[in-house]
Amino acid sequence: MSEKDGKTEKATPKKLRDARKKGELAKSQELSSSITFAIFALVGVTLVTYTLENAYPFLIRMLTIPKSVDTIQNDLNQIGLQAILYFFIFVGPFLLVGFVGAYLANVMQVGLLFSKEALKPKLSRLNPVSGLKNMFSTTALFNLAKNLAKLGLLLWVALSSAEEAGYYALNAGRVGTEKLFFLMLEIIKSVSANLAGLLFVLGAADFAYQKYSFQKKMRMSKQEIKDEYKEMEGDPQVKSQRKQKYRQLTRGMVKDVDTATVVITNPTHLAIAIRYDRSKDDVPIVVAKGADHMAAIIRERAKDHDVPIMENKPIARALYQTVDAGQSVPADMYQAIAEILALVYQMEELQKKKI
């Protein structure tokens, strides 16, 4: 659909940021559920054992209370408070595991995010026409296949475990009630682990599909990218950031002019500062370059720090077009730069003799 609409380009960082603010992200509910279930499978048996061990004394006490009216009236409040307390003690760990599992599953997929936009009701969701279209969309077909796969996995795991569970149930008298309980817990643990692994694979596949669908949904046309760029050009914040970066860049380059051996000019439109220190540099390095206003700043800085300024239009133009600040001079220009440096050294020698 995106390609038919001319939306063939990847989403820009701005569009992705805007979508994130609205809570529109590649996220799989299946993966979240599978991670939560996996955490339950890992710690569930331990929690069940802990709960039963701690609940047993309380249940015995409740069942062995003397049946006198006086005792019931005296202990009723205390029993009620204990019942509430034990309820939270027993149920609390399960609730905590569920909360932690759901939280980790969401953070793993989308990071830390809270979006108010996602909580706002949308009337477009109540549109019956859109609802009918969604029923026969690719996403609906994928969800149907996913649910059928989940059902198949559940049936397969249940059938594969039914034989073992049935064997222990039929031989409960030989095994003993206490051992049977723990054996059944081990079966539940094994079934849960197998099911968690299968659901995680299904969740990972769903996440891959959701990510693909999201990227496809976020695609833009070339015109949309142009319009976004124009909009950003007029954004005061973007302009301010661009100016700040430019100031930082020019400040660094202007400072490096102090270390230059020579500044080659055009003479007014371009200025390229070159450093060649025989003790440090293997080849000449362009430490700063600029055009128009920046070129004037470089020339002024060079004058203030007694850096020679040489006019050479072809070399200045070639260096400005091919070399950035911090890069070495191209090999095919070594001879021309060497001649300029030789002239600079001759001028320095003459000045020393005059002194």
Give the pLDDT band (50/70/90) at residue 240.
low
185 vs 317, which has greater pLDDT? 317
Q: Report the CATH number at residue 338.
A: 3.40.1690.10
Contacts of 285 (CB under 8 A, 6+ apart): 274, 275, 276, 326, 327, 328, 329
Q: Compute the chain's Rg from CA coordinates.
A: 38
Question: Once rounded to an integer, what is the mean pLDDT over residues 339-354?
Answer: 84
Residue-level pLDDT at 201: 87
Residue 99's SS3 state is: helix
243 vs 100, which has greater pLDDT? 100
Please indicate, yes or no, whether residues 133 and 207 belong to a single structural domain of this protein. Answer: yes
Share of the chain above pLDDT 90, in %: 16
Please indicate, yes or no, whether residues 207 and 256 belong to a single structural domain of this protein. Answer: no
Cα angle vertex 310, ends 304, 313, to 5°?
130
Residue 27 lies in a domain: yes
Please indicate, yes or no, whether residues 26 and 172 belong to a single structural domain of this protein. Answer: yes
Please indicate, yes or no, whether residues 66 and 208 belong to a single structural domain of this protein. Answer: yes
Q: Which of 230, 258, 280 is the last residue of a domain?
A: 230
Please indicate, yes or no, whether residues 211 and 258 belong to a single structural domain of this protein. Answer: no
Residue 148 lies in a domain: yes
Residue-level pLDDT at 285: 93
Picking from 301, 158, 303, 146, the residue whose alpha carbon sits closest to that of residue 213 is 146
Residue 220's SS3 state is: strand
Residue-level pLDDT at 34: 86
Question: Once rounded to an integer, what is the mean pLDDT over residues 126-149?
Answer: 68
Please indicate, yes or no, whether residues 294 and 175 belong to a single structural domain of this protein. Answer: no
Asked if pLDDT for residue 286 goes beyond 90, the answer is yes
Beta bridge partners of 274: 262, 286
Residue 4 lies in a domain: no
Residue-level pLDDT at 121: 56
Please indicate, yes or no, whether residues 171 and 258 belong to a single structural domain of this protein. Answer: no
Asked if pLDDT for residue 310 goes beyond 80, the answer is yes
Residue 321 lies in a domain: yes
Question: Once rounded to an integer, what is the mean pLDDT over residues 236-261?
Answer: 70
CB 329 within 8 A of CB 337: yes
Please indicate, yes or no, whether residues 261 and 221 belong to a single structural domain of this protein. Answer: no
Residue-level pLDDT at 322: 92
Residue 87 lies in a domain: yes
Question: Once rounded to an integer, what is the mean pLDDT over residues 150-168?
Answer: 74
- In angstroms, what CA-CA distances link 38 with 47, 49, 92, 161, 191? 14, 18, 18, 18, 11
Q: How far apart are CA 214 and CA 263, in angstroms?
A: 53
CB 256 within 8 A of CB 288: yes
Parallel, antiparallel, or unpaired for β 262-265 and 309-311? parallel
Indicate the Cα dihedral angle 69, 74, 80, 82, nearest 10°.
-120
- DSSP code of 6? T
Domain that residue 198 falls in:
13-119+128-230
Q: Which of 230, 264, 281 is the last residue of a domain?
A: 230
Please indicate, yes or no, whether residues 200 and 294 belong to a single structural domain of this protein. Answer: no
Residue 20 lies in a domain: yes
Residue-level pLDDT at 262: 95
Residue-level pLDDT at 235: 58
Q: How far apart are CA 27 and CA 30, in angstroms?
A: 9
Residue-level pLDDT at 134: 58
CB 195 within 8 A of CB 10: no
- Two structure tokens written together for 290: 């600029």
pLDDT one-digit tens code per residue, 203-224: 888 888 888 888 888 888 888 8
Please indicate, yes or no, whether residues 285 and 315 belong to a single structural domain of this protein. Answer: yes
pLDDT one-digit tens code per residue, 35-57: 888 887 777 767 776 776 666 66
Q: Which of 170, 202, 230 is the last residue of a domain?
A: 230
Please indicate, yes or no, whether residues 185 and 314 belong to a single structural domain of this protein. Answer: no
* Strand stretches in 169-308, DSSP E: 262-265, 270-275, 285-291
Residue 243 lies in a domain: no
175 vs 264, which has greater pLDDT? 264
Number of domains in the chain: 2
Please indicate, yes or no, whether residues 48 and 139 belong to a single structural domain of this protein. Answer: yes
Give the pLDDT band (50/70/90) at residue 264.
very high
268 vs 1, which has greater pLDDT? 268
Asked if pLDDT for residue 284 goes beyond 90, the answer is yes
Residue-level pLDDT at 328: 92
Asked if pLDDT for residue 249 goes beyond 60, the answer is no
Residue-level pLDDT at 119: 53
| The most confident of 65-74, 129-138, 304-313, by mean pLDDT | 304-313
Residue 2 lies in a domain: no
Residue-level pLDDT at 69: 47
Picking from 238, 157, 231, the residue whose alpha carbon sits closest to that of residue 193 is 157
Segment holding 132, helix H or strand E: helix 128-135
Helices (H) and strands (E) in the chain, counts: 12, 4
Residue-level pLDDT at 314: 92
